[in-house]
């Protein structure tokens, strides 16, 4: 509880800081403008969106009200959507085998439940090389989710896809064996991307049955503990069938393996909240809220996963958590998914907030160790969006990198604690290889240690820790993000 109170005090302090930024032009970041993409312009003095402090009741912002209406509209379109997902498996009222408490609405009480400290880490197949097993053994994750497999037109696992070949091959099986030896769980992520593919699946009870049977067989073959359901690009009218599918899959997995679980991976917007609600009503053990990609390569520069926004836009981690709470998604089954990557854009200057001069790109830390240690790079930190910033010289121009460092992730993990979430997760383990500060942070969160700001990170980063740059200091030296 002491750690939780320290975290809440930190967030209250940050909230006051952000409120002062909104009313004092001297503290407003220079890139704050009137445009949604943060282009330079007139100073925007509107209050920033802030995360919720438990016990503090604020008026419902207009943006949250609109988002809640959007969620309701989705269910209005599909009629009695929630009722339709109450299929076999929906009798389940709490997480099984993960040590969580029965589900409760984020709005049911003023005080949040005690936080869990689960760590759910996705490992994409392109990170499964000769060194990944050793790295994962050293990473204190509760669950490793191997990404990913999909189905073919007949409902069988698409065995020709590289994901299935890698996961079912020697490296994937080694990861599973290592995790079980350490008392950890392993899921396999099943993906279904594209509106046409999803409509075909959810319109056919027979095809769904074949996919469920294929996933149950995969669970038995690999001796895994559960399935992560990752359905993206879905028509609102298919949400009830999606919920029914989640319940059907969970019932089949549990029948074959009583400790099996289903985790639903859902987006950060209104439809993601609707999917999360449908999945939890149907019995999903966990929801992985993808709290990233609020900016993409086509955006103006800024954080992929801001707690709040410096450009006046509403979409942020705080906004998503409010959406999920408004929808009634149980906090005790919610994992806050966070990025272990960043974004880089070409810019004309090294200034934080400088506009882009071209399209951005995904920036993975382990692939850019030279940039992190570049003596000519200029490092700083954006306290409004909670993101590390690195300007790397690139000929006569600069590459502006906004990435989540251990310092920025600490604030977001503290937010998960403050709201009583089941834990947090990461996309993607492996992206931080060679950077032990990340591994240490994950271990601290898993152990329930305080996520209050580390005083050592407020000064210039110590030698050997290029990932905790200080404000104004100098650094010491469509596919899933990071996919090749």
Q: Does 56 fall in a domain? A: no
> Which has more pLDDT, 55 or 15?
15
E-strand ranges in 168-285 read 185-193, 226-232, 261-266
* pLDDT at site 112: 74
> Which has more pLDDT, 33 or 260?
260
pLDDT > 90: percent of the chain: 69
pLDDT exceeds 80 at position 51: no
> Which has more pLDDT, 320 or 62?
320
Residue 109, SS3 per DSSP: coil
Spatial contact of 476 and 465, defined as CB atoms under 8 Å apart = yes
Q: How many Cβ atoms from other residues are within 10 Å of residue 133's Cβ?
A: 18
Distance CA 484, CA 439 (A): 24
Please compute the mean of the pLDDT values over residues 225-238 and round it to a whole number. Answer: 98
* 175 closest CA partner among 221, 122, 227, 136: 136
**What does the block give as tokens for 404?**
């989540």
Q: Report the DSSP pairing between strands 378-382 and 361-363.
A: unpaired
Which CATH number characterizes residue 102's domain? 3.20.20.80
Spatial contact of 351 and 378, defined as CB atoms under 8 Å apart = no
pLDDT exceeds 60 at position 370: yes
For 1, 222, 313, 471, the CA distances from 25, given in Å and listed in that order, are: 37, 58, 18, 18
Q: Does 154 fall in a domain? A: yes
The secondary structure of residue 416, as a DSSP letter, is H
pLDDT exceeds 60 at position 422: yes
pLDDT exceeds 50 at position 387: yes
Please count the residues of the chain.
484
**What does the block give as tokens for 104?**
């409760």
* 433 closest CA partner among 477, 461, 467, 401: 467
Q: Count how many domains the chain has.
A: 1
Q: Does 463 fall in a domain? A: no
- Predicted confidence (pLDDT) per residue in 193-223, tens digit: 999 999 999 999 999 999 999 999 999 999 9
Q: Does 232 fall in a domain? A: yes
* pLDDT at site 96: 31
pLDDT exceeds 60 at position 466: no
**What does the block give as tokens for 62?**
């207009």
The secondary structure of residue 356, as a DSSP letter, is B
Report field, pTM of the whole predicted structure over 0.85: no
**What is the chain's Cα-based Rg?**
22
Q: Does 90 fall in a domain? A: yes
Q: Does 445 fall in a domain? A: yes
Q: In what order do the strands lie in the sheet with 342-347?
A: 361-363, 342-347, 397-403, 387-394, 378-382
* pLDDT at site 64: 53
Q: Does 365 fall in a domain? A: no
Instruction: Characterise 312 by phi-psi region: left (phi > 0), alpha (psi -120 to 50), beta (else).
Output: left
Instruction: Characterise 137 by phi-psi region: left (phi > 0), alpha (psi -120 to 50), beta (else).
Output: alpha
Domain housing 215: 70-338+406-455
Please compute the mean of the pLDDT values over residues 268-275 and round it to a whole number. Answer: 98
* 177 closest CA partner among 223, 123, 140: 223
E-strand ranges in 172-319 read 185-193, 226-232, 261-266, 286-290
Residue 224, SS3 per DSSP: coil
- Predicted confidence (pLDDT) per residue in 131-154, tens digit: 999 999 999 999 999 999 999 999
Q: Does 2 fall in a domain? A: no
> Integer distance in angstroms from the first to the last C-alpha of the chain?
43
pLDDT exceeds 60 at position 316: yes
Question: Distance from CA of residue 394 to its chain's centroid?
Answer: 30
Distance CA 288, CA 333 (A): 9
Predicted confidence band of residue 482 (pLDDT cuts 50, 70, 90):
confident
* pLDDT at site 259: 96
Predicted confidence band of residue 452 (pLDDT cuts 50, 70, 90):
confident
> Which has more pLDDT, 461 or 32?
461
């Amino acid at each position: 509880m002491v750690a939780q109170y320290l975290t809440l005090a930190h967030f209250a302090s940050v909230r006051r800081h952000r409120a002062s930024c909104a009313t004092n032009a001297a503290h407003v970041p220079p890139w704050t403008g009137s445009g949604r993409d943060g282009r330079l312009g007139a100073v925007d003095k509107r209050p920033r969106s802030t995360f919720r402090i438990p016990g503090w009741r604020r008026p419902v912002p207009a943006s949250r009200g609109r988002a809640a209406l959007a969620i309701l509209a989705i269910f209005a379109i599909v009629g009695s959507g929630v009722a339709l997902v109450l299929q076999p498996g929906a009798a389940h009222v709490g997480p099984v085998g993960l040590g969580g408490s029965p589900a409760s609405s984020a709005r049911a009480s003023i005080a949040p439940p005690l936080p869990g400290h689960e760590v759910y880490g996705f490992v994409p197949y392109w990170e499964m090389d000769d060194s990944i097993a050793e790295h994962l053994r050293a990473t204190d994750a509760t669950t490793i989710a191997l990404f990913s497999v999909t189905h073919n037109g007949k409902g069988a696992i698409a065995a020709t896809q590289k994901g299935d070949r890698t996961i079912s091959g020697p490296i994937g099986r080694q990861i599973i064996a290592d995790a079980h030896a350490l008392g950890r769980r392993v899921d396999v992520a099943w993906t279904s991307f594209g509106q046409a593919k999803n409509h075909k699946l959810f319109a056919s009870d027979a095809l769904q049955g074949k996919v469920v049977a294929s996933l149950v067989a995969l669970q038995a073959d690999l001796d895994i503990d559960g399935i992560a359901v990752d359905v993206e690009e879905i028509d609102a009218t298919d949400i009830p069938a999606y919920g029914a599918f989640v319940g059907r899959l969970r019932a089949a997995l549990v029948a074959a393996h009583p400790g099996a679980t289903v985790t639903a991976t859902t987006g950060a917007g209104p439809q993601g909240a609707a999917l999360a609600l449908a999945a939890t009503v149907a019995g999903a053990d966990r929801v992985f809220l993808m709290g990233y990609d609020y900016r993409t390569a086509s955006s103006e520069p800024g954080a992929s996963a801001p707690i709040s926004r410096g450009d006046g836009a509403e979409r942020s981690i705080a906004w998503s958590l409010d959406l999920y709470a408004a929808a009634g998604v149980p906090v005790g089954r919610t994992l806050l998914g966070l990025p272990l990557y960043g974004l880089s854009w070409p810019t004309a200057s090294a200034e934080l907030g400088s506009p882009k001069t071209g399209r951005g790109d995904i920036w993975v830390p382990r692939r850019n160790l030279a940039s992190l240690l570049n003596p000519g790079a200029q490092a700083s930190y954006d306290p409004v969006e909670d993101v590390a910033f690195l300007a790397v010289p690139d000929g006569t121009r600069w590459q502006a990198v906004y990435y989540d460092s251990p310092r920025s992730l600490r604030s977001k993990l503290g937010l998960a604690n403050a709201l009583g979430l089941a834990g947090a997760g990461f996309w993607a383990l492996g992206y931080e290889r060679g950077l032990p500060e990340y591994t240490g942070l994950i271990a601290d969160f898993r152990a329930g240690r305080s996520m209050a700001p580390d005083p050592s990170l407020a000064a210039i980063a110590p030698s050997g820790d290029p990932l905790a740059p200080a404000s104004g200091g100098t650094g010491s030296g469509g596919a899933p993000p990071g996919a090749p």
